[in-house]
Protein backbone atom coordinates (compact mmCIF):
# COMPACT_ATOMS: atom_id res chain seq x y z
CA UNK A 1 0.00 0.00 0.00
CA UNK A 2 2.85 2.41 0.81
CA UNK A 3 6.42 1.89 -0.39
CA UNK A 4 9.27 4.09 0.84
CA UNK A 5 12.46 4.11 -1.22
CA UNK A 6 15.74 5.62 -0.03
CA UNK A 7 14.08 8.30 2.09
CA UNK A 8 16.53 10.79 3.58
CA UNK A 9 15.54 13.84 5.58
CA UNK A 10 17.92 16.56 6.71
CA UNK A 11 17.45 19.66 8.81
CA UNK A 12 20.38 21.78 7.74
CA UNK A 13 23.52 19.69 8.24
CA UNK A 14 21.75 17.20 10.55
CA UNK A 15 20.50 13.96 8.97
CA UNK A 16 17.34 12.89 10.81
CA UNK A 17 16.39 10.00 8.49
CA UNK A 18 19.09 8.19 6.56
CA UNK A 19 18.23 6.12 3.45
CA UNK A 20 15.03 4.48 4.76
CA UNK A 21 13.40 1.86 2.51
CA UNK A 22 10.37 -0.16 3.62
CA UNK A 23 6.98 -1.41 2.40
CA UNK A 24 3.76 -1.11 4.40
CA UNK A 25 1.19 -3.66 3.23
CA UNK A 26 -2.60 -3.75 3.36
CA UNK A 27 -4.38 -5.13 6.45
CA UNK A 28 -1.26 -4.89 8.60
CA UNK A 29 -0.32 -3.04 11.78
CA UNK A 30 3.24 -1.73 11.97
CA UNK A 31 4.91 -0.46 15.11
CA UNK A 32 7.81 2.00 15.00
CA UNK A 33 10.18 1.92 17.97
CA UNK A 34 13.24 3.96 18.78
CA UNK A 35 14.66 6.29 21.36
CA UNK A 36 13.68 9.96 21.46
CA UNK A 37 15.24 11.65 18.45
CA UNK A 38 15.51 8.45 16.39
CA UNK A 39 13.29 9.93 13.63
CA UNK A 40 9.87 8.36 14.27
CA UNK A 41 7.79 11.53 14.15
CA UNK A 42 9.77 12.91 11.22
CA UNK A 43 9.11 9.68 9.29
CA UNK A 44 5.39 10.07 9.97
CA UNK A 45 5.47 13.68 8.80
CA UNK A 46 7.21 12.64 5.57
CA UNK A 47 4.58 9.98 4.87
CA UNK A 48 1.85 12.56 5.54
CA UNK A 49 3.51 14.93 3.04
CA UNK A 50 4.17 17.51 5.73
CA UNK A 51 7.93 17.51 5.10
CA UNK A 52 10.10 17.68 2.00
CA UNK A 53 12.65 14.88 1.68
CA UNK A 54 14.99 13.04 -0.65
CA UNK A 55 13.82 9.68 -2.03
CA UNK A 56 10.29 8.56 -2.88
CA UNK A 57 7.07 7.49 -1.19
CA UNK A 58 4.66 5.75 -3.55
CA UNK A 59 1.18 4.30 -3.10
CA UNK A 60 -1.54 2.81 -5.25
CA UNK A 61 -3.85 5.43 -3.76
CA UNK A 62 -2.93 8.98 -4.78
CA UNK A 63 -2.60 11.45 -3.28
CA UNK A 64 -1.68 9.71 -0.03
CA UNK A 65 -2.82 12.64 2.12
CA UNK A 66 -6.41 12.18 0.88
CA UNK A 67 -6.40 8.58 2.14
CA UNK A 68 -4.48 9.19 5.35
CA UNK A 69 -5.57 9.72 8.93
CA UNK A 70 -2.74 11.41 10.82
CA UNK A 71 -3.09 11.28 14.60
CA UNK A 72 -0.15 13.28 15.88
CA UNK A 73 1.34 13.09 19.35
CA UNK A 74 0.36 16.74 19.82
CA UNK A 75 -2.76 17.35 17.78
CA UNK A 76 -3.69 20.84 16.56
CA UNK A 77 -7.26 22.04 17.16
CA UNK A 78 -8.97 25.24 16.04
CA UNK A 79 -10.05 27.44 18.94
CA UNK A 80 -13.73 27.97 19.77
CA UNK A 81 -14.89 24.79 18.12
CA UNK A 82 -16.80 21.92 19.73
CA UNK A 83 -15.88 18.25 19.51
CA UNK A 84 -18.78 17.57 17.15
CA UNK A 85 -17.87 20.51 14.93
CA UNK A 86 -14.29 19.25 14.72
CA UNK A 87 -15.42 15.79 13.63
CA UNK A 88 -17.83 17.24 11.07
CA UNK A 89 -15.04 19.44 9.69
CA UNK A 90 -12.81 16.41 9.14
CA UNK A 91 -15.67 14.42 7.61
CA UNK A 92 -16.36 17.27 5.19
CA UNK A 93 -12.70 17.16 4.17
CA UNK A 94 -13.30 13.57 2.99
CA UNK A 95 -16.79 14.31 1.58
CA UNK A 96 -18.35 11.97 4.13
CA UNK A 97 -22.06 12.65 4.49
CA UNK A 98 -24.87 11.33 6.66
CA UNK A 99 -22.75 9.90 9.49
CA UNK A 100 -24.50 9.81 12.87
CA UNK A 101 -21.63 11.08 15.00
CA UNK A 102 -23.40 10.82 18.34
CA UNK A 103 -24.20 7.12 17.93
CA UNK A 104 -20.54 6.42 17.05
CA UNK A 105 -19.05 8.35 19.95
CA UNK A 106 -17.26 5.25 21.24
CA UNK A 107 -15.21 7.15 23.86
CA UNK A 108 -18.34 8.89 25.19
CA UNK A 109 -16.87 12.36 24.69
CA UNK A 110 -18.82 15.56 25.54
CA UNK A 111 -19.09 16.54 21.88
CA UNK A 112 -21.13 19.69 22.62
CA UNK A 113 -18.28 21.22 24.63
CA UNK A 114 -15.43 23.37 23.28
CA UNK A 115 -12.30 21.34 22.64
CA UNK A 116 -10.21 23.83 24.62
CA UNK A 117 -11.99 22.55 27.75
CA UNK A 118 -10.92 18.96 27.00
CA UNK A 119 -8.13 17.20 28.88
CA UNK A 120 -5.11 15.87 26.98
CA UNK A 121 -6.59 12.37 26.93
CA UNK A 122 -9.96 13.63 25.67
CA UNK A 123 -8.26 15.50 22.84
CA UNK A 124 -6.41 12.32 21.87
CA UNK A 125 -9.67 10.36 21.87
CA UNK A 126 -11.36 13.04 19.75
CA UNK A 127 -8.58 12.89 17.14
CA UNK A 128 -8.80 9.08 17.04
CA UNK A 129 -12.60 9.17 16.68
CA UNK A 130 -12.50 11.69 13.83
CA UNK A 131 -9.82 9.78 11.93
CA UNK A 132 -11.67 6.47 12.23
CA UNK A 133 -14.97 8.01 11.07
CA UNK A 134 -13.18 9.41 8.01
CA UNK A 135 -12.69 5.78 6.92
CA UNK A 136 -9.10 6.37 5.79
CA UNK A 137 -7.15 3.55 4.13
CA UNK A 138 -3.96 4.51 5.99
CA UNK A 139 -3.79 5.63 9.60
CA UNK A 140 -0.70 7.00 11.34
CA UNK A 141 -0.82 7.06 15.15
CA UNK A 142 2.06 8.82 16.89
CA UNK A 143 2.00 7.73 20.56
CA UNK A 144 -1.78 7.08 20.54
CA UNK A 145 -1.83 5.46 24.00
CA UNK A 146 -0.21 8.44 25.75
CA UNK A 147 -2.69 10.24 28.00
CA UNK A 148 -5.39 7.58 27.71
CA UNK A 149 -6.96 5.91 30.71
CA UNK A 150 -7.07 2.13 31.02
CA UNK A 151 -10.53 1.65 29.54
CA UNK A 152 -9.69 3.87 26.56
CA UNK A 153 -6.45 1.93 25.94
CA UNK A 154 -8.48 -1.29 25.81
CA UNK A 155 -10.98 0.28 23.39
CA UNK A 156 -8.21 1.64 21.17
CA UNK A 157 -6.46 -1.73 21.03
CA UNK A 158 -9.67 -3.40 19.85
CA UNK A 159 -10.34 -0.62 17.34
CA UNK A 160 -6.88 -1.13 15.81
CA UNK A 161 -7.57 -4.86 15.43
CA UNK A 162 -10.94 -4.18 13.79
CA UNK A 163 -9.43 -1.64 11.38
CA UNK A 164 -6.79 -4.19 10.41
CA UNK A 165 -9.52 -6.76 9.71
CA UNK A 166 -11.21 -4.17 7.49
CA UNK A 167 -8.06 -4.03 5.37
CA UNK A 168 -6.60 -0.78 6.71
CA UNK A 169 -2.87 -0.09 6.98
CA UNK A 170 -1.93 1.23 10.42
CA UNK A 171 1.47 2.62 11.42
CA UNK A 172 1.93 3.55 15.06
CA UNK A 173 4.62 4.42 17.55
CA UNK A 174 4.54 3.83 21.28
CA UNK A 175 6.93 3.85 24.21
CA UNK A 176 4.66 1.24 25.81
CA UNK A 177 6.11 -2.00 24.49
CA UNK A 178 3.13 -4.14 25.58
CA UNK A 179 0.79 -2.02 23.44
CA UNK A 180 2.92 -2.75 20.39
CA UNK A 181 3.11 -6.49 20.96
CA UNK A 182 -0.65 -6.59 21.47
CA UNK A 183 -1.51 -4.73 18.25
CA UNK A 184 1.30 -5.10 15.74
CA UNK A 185 2.18 -7.63 13.07
CA UNK A 186 5.60 -6.08 12.50
CA UNK A 187 7.82 -3.84 14.63
CA UNK A 188 10.32 -1.59 12.87
CA UNK A 189 13.30 -0.38 14.85
CA UNK A 190 14.89 3.01 14.14
CA UNK A 191 18.29 3.95 15.54
CA UNK A 192 19.86 7.34 14.87
CA UNK A 193 17.67 7.84 11.82
CA UNK A 194 18.50 4.46 10.29
CA UNK A 195 16.27 1.42 9.91
CA UNK A 196 18.15 -1.06 12.08
CA UNK A 197 15.76 -4.03 12.21
CA UNK A 198 12.37 -5.35 11.08
CA UNK A 199 10.86 -7.83 13.53
CA UNK A 200 7.85 -10.02 12.80
CA UNK A 201 5.40 -11.14 15.48
CA UNK A 202 7.01 -14.52 16.12
CA UNK A 203 10.20 -12.74 17.21
CA UNK A 204 8.67 -10.07 19.48
CA UNK A 205 9.77 -11.91 22.61
CA UNK A 206 13.36 -11.91 21.41
CA UNK A 207 13.13 -8.18 20.77
CA UNK A 208 11.82 -7.61 24.28
CA UNK A 209 14.71 -9.57 25.77
CA UNK A 210 17.18 -7.65 23.63
CA UNK A 211 15.76 -4.32 24.78
CA UNK A 212 15.87 -5.40 28.42
CA UNK A 213 19.49 -6.49 28.14
CA UNK A 214 20.46 -3.10 26.71
CA UNK A 215 18.41 -0.97 29.08
CA UNK A 216 18.44 -2.68 32.46
CA UNK A 217 21.62 -2.54 34.54
CA UNK A 218 22.91 -5.94 35.61
CA UNK A 219 22.75 -4.89 39.26
CA UNK A 220 19.27 -3.37 39.13
CA UNK A 221 18.27 -5.09 42.39
CA UNK A 222 21.00 -3.10 44.19
CA UNK A 223 19.06 0.10 43.51
CA UNK A 224 16.20 -1.04 45.77
Of 11, 75, 21, the residue nearest 194 (C-alpha):
21
Counts for the chain of helices (H) and strands (E), in that order = 6, 9
One digit per residue, the tens of pLDDT, for the chain of length 224 reads 799 999 999 999 999 999 999 999 999 999 999 888 889 999 999 999 999 999 999 988 778 888 899 999 888 898 899 999 999 999 998 888 889 999 999 999 999 999 999 999 999 999 999 999 999 999 999 999 998 999 999 999 999 999 999 999 999 998 888 899 999 999 999 998 999 999 999 999 888 888 788 777 777 777 77
C-alpha distance from residue 189 to each of 19, 144, 194, 199 (Å) = 14, 18, 8, 8
Q: What is the pLDDT of residue 218?
A: 78
Q: How far apart are CA 177 and CA 7, in angstroms?
A: 26
pTM of the predicted model, to two decimals?
Answer: 0.91
Supply the CATH number for residue 138's domain.
Answer: 3.40.50.300
pLDDT in tens, 30-53: 999 988 888 999 999 999 999 999
HSE of 63, CA atoms in CB hemisphere, 13 A: 7
Tell me the torsion sign for CA atoms 113, 119, 124, 128: negative
If one counts the domains in the chain, the total is 1
Boundaries of domain holding 28? 2-223
Query: What's the distance, Cα to Cα, between the start and end of the chain in Å?
Result: 49
Amino acid sequence: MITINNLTKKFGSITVLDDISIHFGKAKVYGIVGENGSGKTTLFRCIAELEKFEGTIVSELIPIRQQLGNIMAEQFFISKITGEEYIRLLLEARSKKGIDIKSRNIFDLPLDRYIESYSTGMKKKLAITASILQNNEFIIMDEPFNGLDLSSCIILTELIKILKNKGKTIILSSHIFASLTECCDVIIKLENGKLSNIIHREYFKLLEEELKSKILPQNIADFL
